[in-house]
Amino acid sequence: MDNRNGSDMMSIAKLIEKSINNNISQLNTMMLCKVIQVIPHIELISYFDAYYIDGTNIARTKIIEPLTLEGATYKVGDIVLTGFLQEYVEDGAVRKFDISDAVIIGKVKI
């Protein structure tokens, strides 16, 4: 295989990756969650995981210790609007739209 072809493919891959990263940085991601635990820390599952598709009590998506607004209180069963930080820098590493960077915006009624 011609080496030039390999470097062209790498250039295309880098261009695509840059384009995706630029577009992702413009997104704001939110989802509805259900509070399943409040003591000793808050745990959430996706609202759509609340009924467990396979009949077990293991959720597909679990959020442990999301950030909360100061003074906000929650109880098991509350439905909350949860957002995810676009970017978070920790110890020099950058995360984007990571589930561990969830923030409870507030309670909602459905």
Q: Say what the pLDDT of residue 18 is.
A: 75
Q: Which residue matches tokens 């929650």?
A: 74
Query: For residue 42, what are the domain limits?
Result: 27-107
- Beta carbons of 82 and 57 less than 8 angstroms apart: no
- Taking the C-alpha atoms of residue 21 and residue 27, their distance in angstroms, rounded to an integer, is 10
In a domain, 42, yes or no: yes
pLDDT tens digit sequence for 51-106? 555 666 566 678 999 989 899 999 999 999 998 877 777 788 887 767 778 899 99
Residue 72 belongs to domain with CATH number: 2.40.50
pLDDT tens digit sequence for 29-46? 788 999 999 999 999 988
Model pTM score: 0.64
In a domain, 13, yes or no: no
* SS3 readout for the chain: CCHHHHHHHHHHHHHHHHHHHHHHCCCCEEEEEEEEECCCCCEEEEHHHCCCCCCCCCCCCEEECCECCCCCCCCCCCEEEEEECCCEEECCEEECCCHHHEEEEEECCC
Q: Say what the pLDDT of residue 28 is.
A: 58
- Taking the C-alpha atoms of residue 58 and residue 98, their distance in angstroms, rounded to an integer, is 20
Instruction: Count structural domains, the chain.
Output: 1
